[in-house]
Amino acid sequence: MAACSTLHPHVSDAFQAEALACLVAVNFTRDLGFTRVVIEGDSLTVFVSVNYGFVHREANGAAHVLAQEGKMYSSPMYWMEEAPSNTTLAADKYRERL
Judgement on whether residues 44 and 67 belong to the same structural domain of the protein? no
Judgement on whether residues 48 and 66 belong to the same structural domain of the protein? no
Judgement on whether residues 40 and 72 belong to the same structural domain of the protein? no
DSSP conformational letter for 44: T
Question: Would you say the pTM of this structure is higher than 0.95?
Answer: no
Q: Which domain holds residue 17?
A: 1-53
| Burial degree of 63 (CB within 10 A; 0-12, 13-18, 19+) | middle
As a whole-number percent, the residues of the chain with pLDDT over 70 amount to: 96
Give the model's confidence band at 71: pLDDT under 50 very low, under 70 low, under 90 confident, else very high.
confident
* Tens digits of residue pLDDT in 54-66: 777 777 888 888 8
